[in-house]
């Protein structure tokens, strides 16, 4: 049984003061949007939420960007305007998380196989 298999796609924008991320659900629609802005962003964006990584690139802890942080970096705190800038100027980052095989709890599996029970 394969468990934990997933992929994560985000757009990373390195700002003057911080690193910003937007999560993408559909890469093909995002690429269409890059050439045709009539494609609705809601077709490819996971959530209209902007994350900062505190100068950690695409790694580290993701926190929601404050209005003041957005205003300082982008000149606006309107989420849709900031998201457009990140999507236009940022770089696409794709990460694959491979699945894993095996039992949920190996320690418990050994007890069942060997016939031990707790009496």
- CATH code of the region 7-96: 3.30.1250.10
The pTM score is 0.72
Of the two residues 55 and 91, the one the predictor is more confident about is 91
Average pLDDT over residues 51-71: 83
**How many other C-beta atoms lie within 10 A of the C-beta of residue 9?**
18
Average pLDDT over residues 37-43: 92
Of the two residues 6 and 84, the one the predictor is more confident about is 84
Average pLDDT over residues 33-45: 92
How many residues in total does the chain contain?
A: 119
Angstrom CA distances, 109 to 56, 118, 119, stand at: 40, 14, 17
Q: 97 falls in which pLDDT band (50, 70, 90)?
A: low
Ranges of each domain in the chain? 7-96
Q: 1 falls in which pLDDT band (50, 70, 90)?
A: very low
**Burial of 87 from C-beta contacts in 10 A (0-12 / 13-18 / 19+):** buried
């Amino acid at each position: 049984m394969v468990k934990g298999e997933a992929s994560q796609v985000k757009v990373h924008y390195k700002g003057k003061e911080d690193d910003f991320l937007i999560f993408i659900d559909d890469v093909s629609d995002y690429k269409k949007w890059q050439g045709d802005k009539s494609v609705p962003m809601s077709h490819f964006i996971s959530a209209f939420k902007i994350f900062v990584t505190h100068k950690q690139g695409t790694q580290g802890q993701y926190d929601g960007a404050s209005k003041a942080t957005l205003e300082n970096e982008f000149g606006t705190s309107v989420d849709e305007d900031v998201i457009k800038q990140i999507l236009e100027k940022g770089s696409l980052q794709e990460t694959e998380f491979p699945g894993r095989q095996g039992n949920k709890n190996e320690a418990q599996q050994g007890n069942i196989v060997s016939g031990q029970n707790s009496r």
